[in-house]
A and B are shown apart, each in its own frame.
Chain A
Amino acid sequence: MTGQDTDMFSEHYNFAYLDEQTKRMIRRAILKAIAVPGYQVPFASREMPMPYGWGTGGVQVTAAVIGSDDVLKMIDQGSDDTTNAVALRGFFIKTTGVKATTKTSQATIIQTRHRIPEEPLTENQTLVYQVPIPEPLRKLEPRETETRKMHALEEYGLMHVKLYEDIAKYGEIATTYAYPVLVNDRYVMDPSPIPKFDNPKMHEMAALQLFGAGREKRIYAVPPYTKVESLDFQDYPFEIQRFEEPCALCGAENVYLDEVILDDKGGRMYVCSDSDYCEERREQGHLGHMAANPIAEPENSGPRA
């Protein structure tokens, strides 16, 4: 049990912003979500001091789970320093006083918007996803009453038809993010808009995965070591994205890369989307083909006389 010393941050807010009854309600939803992997548990999502779409679901899940001795990492599209990550990290530092980190290996809770870190997660970590539309069938069937029935009856034919139509139109399954998965051989689940590159990481992950959708008021979970299969066909097996070149900064291969436009003449570079992974590799001495220090370039070498 922790002592009172962490209460100095709760002068204005309760620890982690939410009131205790709300936390209990969310915690109960999380327990049910863990017991039925992939099933979307309805919960009484609260108004948060940030707009819908900024990760109110993930924030509520993190707030219900976090304790004063946790170490929090907050990422947005793999990066620790983009707007959403900075804003939400600041929110939790202010309302909980927990330690924040950018190092994947040091975090106990990682809240993520649309990426899974490249570094494999461990058993004592929890990954919290921010989810915009939790219902994988929503774009195929707008009525909640119907999609609920489809999940109850395990009636996922429509999803396979959608993937088949992709093949008929484009010659391949054209879904590249939020690629539907089947969890524990029972529920079709939206993995949140992570690139399909990250889907295989969800399968039998050592860490607990929690998903929060604030506007849609749903929480779901994938416990550690749970079967997570990306939907596909025997003759069109699931494939992840492949990149032609390694990361321009750290030379990493087999990681998810972001395209960065450099000029208006078609110049571009590909860099790791996971900023912590990229930095760590550069610290270890791995250098990509564009990793030269920009300051050292003649045209950037300080003010001219």
Chain B
Amino acid sequence: MTTAPLGLTKAPAPGLANPVHDAQCIFKAAMNALARPGTLQTLHVTNLTAPHPLPRTMAALALALLDYDTPVYLDTPLAKSRDVVDYLRFHTGAPVVDMQADAAFALISTPEKMPPLSGFNVGTDEYPDRSTTLIMAAETLTNEAGPLLSGPGIKTTTQLNAAPLAPGFWHQMSANQTLYPLGVDVLFASVDQIAGLPRSTTISLKEA
């Protein structure tokens, strides 16, 4: 994968209308999503225009969380888009990296074709926080089907289903949990909702 050379050919789309308060709202939704895994947190970012193919909610999360301290991995459709790369570079200053393992954040616009989760950074025994947080696009997010989730932040159990997903995603996520306290954390972003799936969440896959 090659990223576009520096230098803008056209003005990037505008960022958050109100950088202070919008970023706080977006962060709060992300915080609640990870603190209460599986719950759907409403996030209205209708005033944000993100360049295609970067979904608006993902763009909002990126603008609220990324900066020059956070190397970011983009999946192929995003990395191929000059507009997206310029937009993220201009607004966040985050270095775009080619290696999954180097990334503090990963933006996945096409989860059905995403690279295996095991390629991302899971942190180290002494610094489990030095891991990748994945921000994944979802067309639909529901609590009505999907694997059973339990663990910190969940009173008893809950269900979360996101679509589309790679066929082995839930198995990979379940393997990710066995690494605890190491592992990656996932934020799903649909058009107006986000949901969190931190490494601490136990995933039980129903037997087919």
**A residues adjacent to B (C-beta < 8 A):** 1-4, 6-7, 10, 14-15, 20-21, 23-25, 27-37, 39, 41-42, 64-68, 123, 148-149, 151-153, 184, 186-187, 204, 208, 221-227
Contacting residues, chain A, for B153 (C-beta < 8 A): 34, 223-226
Does B170 belong to the interface (CB within 8 Å)?
Answer: no
Q: Which residues in A have their C-beta under 8 angstroms from that of B128?
A: 36, 39
**Contacts A1-B45, A208-B35 given; does A65 touch B28 at CB 8 Å:** yes
Query: With contacts A20-B23, A184-B151, A224-B152 known, what are 10 further pairs, Cβ within 8 A?
Result: A7-B20, A20-B19, A24-B23, A32-B131, A35-B185, A36-B181, A39-B128, A39-B129, A67-B25, A225-B153
Q: Which residue of A lies closest to B185 (CB)?
A: A35
Interface size on B, residues (CB 8 A): 45
Q: Which among A2, A34, A225 is the interface contact of B155 at CB below 8 angstroms?
A: A225
- Is A186 touching B31 in the complex (CB atoms < 8 A)? no
Inside 8 A of A36's CB, which chain B residues have their CB?
128-129, 180-181, 198-200
Q: Residues of A contacting B198 with CB < 8 Å?
A: 34-36
Interface pairs (12), CB distance under 8 Å: A1-B25, A1-B44, A21-B67, A23-B27, A24-B67, A31-B31, A31-B133, A36-B198, A67-B25, A152-B126, A223-B34, A224-B155
* Complex Cα–Cα for A23 and B25 (A): 13
Say whether B136 faces chain A, with CB atoms less than 8 Å apart. no
Contact assessment for B70 and A65 in the assembled complex, using a CB-CB cutoff below 8 Å: no
Give chain B nearest CB distance to A95 CB in angstroms: 12
The smallest C-beta distance from A295 to any residue of chain B, in angstroms, reads 46
- What residues on A are CB-neighbors of B133 within 8 Å? 31-32
A10: chain B residues at CB < 8 Å are 20
Closest partner residue, chain B, to A28 (CB atom): B65
B1 CB → nearest A CB, Å = 25
Name B's interface SS.
loop
Q: Which residue of A lies closest to B150 (CB)?
A: A225
Asked if residues A39 and B181 are in contact (CB atoms below 8 Å), the reply is: yes
B96 CB to closest chain A CB, in angstroms?
Answer: 18
Most B CB contacts (10 A, CB to CB) among A14, A27, A184 go to A27
Indicate which residue in B19, B34, B45, B200 contacts A31 across the interface (CB closer than 8 Å).
B34
Write out the residue numbers on chain A whose beta carbons fall within 8 Å of the beta carbon of B21: 1-2, 6, 15, 67-68
Question: What residues on A are CB-neighbors of B192 within 8 Å?
Answer: none
B18 at the interface (CB under 8 A from A): yes
Contacts of A65 in B (CB 8 A): 27-28, 31
| Contact code string B174-201 (vs A, CB < 8 Å = 1, else 0) | 0000001100010000000000001110
